[in-house]
Amino acid sequence: MRGWGRLDGPGRVVVGDVELEATRAVVVGVGTRAWAPPIPGLADTPYWTNREALEATEAPASLAVIGGGAIGVELAQAFARFGTAVTVVEAGDRLLGPEEPEASELVTAALGRDGVAAVTSARIQAVRHGPDGFTVEVDGRDPLVAERVLVATGRRSDLRALGAGSIGVDESAPWLPVDDHLRVVGARRTWALGDVTGKGAFTHISMYQADIVVNDVLGREVVPAAYHGLPRVTFTDPEVGAVGVTEAQARSAGIRVRTGAESVPASARGWIHKAGNEGFIKLVEDADRGVLVGATSAGPWGGEVLGLLALAVHAEVPTTSLRHMIYAYPTFHRGIEAAVKDLLGS
């Protein structure tokens, strides 16, 4: 049925004036909504979220993008290529903060070539809207004037609107807590999947979890959910594919880290590709276990090259096996062999 559902105790959902009782399971897959930070004035303006940006039928003359994460940089580049003058305003000290610093550098340079300006470590004081468009006041800089403002500062769930308290979940929590069978912790007959579980805001997480939920609800055997090999791709040009943890995350987790890298232009395929061949492969190894715990493949088809690396991290393939397998010539994924040699020192 079509409608807005609200949990009403274990196994019960209310949609308008219809009350539903599940004999077996309630599965919550409500996703998240774009979240806007409490910047003075912003809430009173007709700012865009990703939704309005994607519904636009004409490119604005100028656009200020607040937030330089994956969605912010993807849309910044897309609009720039439609002819919009784009400025990305990011609070952190680099774009694509959760990814490797080398990826931030690559994407910042690529955006620069498309005419996108990036302002990092930015403190926005206020956003105003008037007949001449938007004004974004950033600490220590001239005000930024733009026809449109796109807010891309993350996404949040709303457990209160969902009625999560009725199944015993703390409604002020950011996500529905789930176990490795995706059962909502402390709630009977309730499963959750996707963004609302906080395990990674990606379509493939939602689908991976859905498979587990279906099997668990039907009483079939379940392979418990594991997220150590979570892949993701930022679809800028060049693409940034990444899996597992970054070098910094591995180090702060106390892992003895070894890294290896190869630049795409230095590879045979990168040389053949010529223009637009910027990119790199970076590997992060748990040196004590001799397996990769993270990797990045950025460049042309970076998201496709990621496939081999995602398997290596997921299946914990020994780096010595990666060193002695055969990589087809002249492919982009052959860069992985060079990065493994760099990591192992031979």
- Interface residues with ligand FAD (CB under 6 A) are 4-5, 29-31, 50, 71, 162, 194-196, 201-204, 206, 235
Residue 106 vs 193, nearer CB to ligand FAD: 193
Query: How far, in whole angstroms, is CA 298 from its chain's centroid?
Result: 15
CB of 344 to ligand FAD, least distance (A): 32
Tokens at 6, concatenated: 């609200």
User: Is 50 within 8 Å of 85 (Cβ atoms)?
Assistant: no
CB nearer to ligand FAD: pick between 128 and 155: 155
Question: How crowded is residue 345: how many other Cβ atoms within 10 Å of its Cβ?
Answer: 7
Cβ count near 85 (within 10 Å): 16
| Shortest Cβ 257–ligand FAD spacing (Å) | 27
Residue 327: φ, ψ to 5°:
-110, 125
Say how far apart CA 230 and CA 219 lie, in whole Å.
Answer: 26
Shortest spacing between CB 321 and ligand FAD, in angstroms: 29
Instruction: Name the minimum Å distance from CB 288 to ligand FAD.
Output: 32
Q: How far is CA 93 from CA 118, 282, 301, in A?
A: 11, 21, 27
Residue whose CB is less far from ligand FAD, 189 or 199 = 199
Shortest Å, Cβ 3 to ligand FAD? 7
CB of 55: closest distance to ligand FAD in angstroms?
12
* Closer of 199 and 269 to ligand FAD (Cβ): 199
Which CB, 5 or 265, lies closer to ligand FAD?
Answer: 5
Determine how many CB atoms are found less than 10 A away from the CB of residue 346.
7
Task: Report the nearest approach of ligand FAD to the CB of residue 323 (Å).
Answer: 31
Distance of CA 81 to the CA centre of its chain: 22
Other C-beta atoms lying within 10 Å of the C-beta of residue 204? 12
Distance of CA 267 to CAs 210, 272, 281, Å? 39, 9, 11
CA distance 47 to 149: 5
Nearer to ligand FAD, 5 or 177 (CB): 5
Query: Judged by CB, which is closer to ligand FAD: 99, or 195?
Result: 195
Contact present, 63 and 146 (Cβ < 8 Å): yes
